[in-house]
Homo-oligomer: A and B are copies of this chain.
Amino acid sequence: MQEELEKQIADLKNQVENLAGKQAENKISMIVFSGDLDKALAAFIIGTGSVAMGLEVVMFFTFWGTPLLRDKNKQVGGKDFMGTMFGAMLPKGTGGAKLSKMNMACMGTAMMKSLMKKKNVASLEEMIQMAGELGVKIYVCEMSMDLMGFKREEMINYPDLTFCGVAKFLEEAMNSKIQLFI
């Protein structure tokens, strides 16, 4: 009888361990698809706010989000024709990002930026720096880099930046409590 109880307890232990291993971690994973100023701001406000809530933060930059991470002071050569064209057409860093609405030939964007300054809301550049200091992980989509002809040397210096594919991001997202597509 005693033996039977021991067996049942061992079974339960296994099941509990199994369940514990499947628990989502205290993590938030975001896909930053958009290159709009307002959406990028929202992503970083959520990101830095999540650190304050004790969450680990992973941001995967893909498609139009990728150019946000270009360093406007870095020049790279050796691009092919398409790469040069995309490079010229796409914004170079946060300075070129515009509002998704009410842009009105950039007037809305300028208004919003001046307003944010007045109301003491951090700018996108400041947000990215803060995120870096807080340990927010940035993943950059390799396929987007390749499609847009960006080179690794033209991206910003960021403490924790990794170039990877969607699989690596999904691995993080699967084990996260929150996932957002922005």
A interface residues (Cβ-Cβ under 8 A, vs B): 1-2, 5-6, 8-9, 12-13, 15-16, 19-20, 22-24, 26, 28, 31, 33, 35, 38-39, 42, 45-46, 49-50, 52-53, 55, 62-64, 82, 85, 89-90, 100-102, 111-112, 115-116, 118-119, 121, 143, 146-147, 165-167, 170-171, 173-174, 177-182
Contacts and interface: CB of A to CB of B under 8 A. Distances in A.
A171 B53 contact: yes
A170 B42 CA distance: 13
Contacts of A115: 82, 147
A91 B162 CA distance: 37
B53 A170 contact: yes
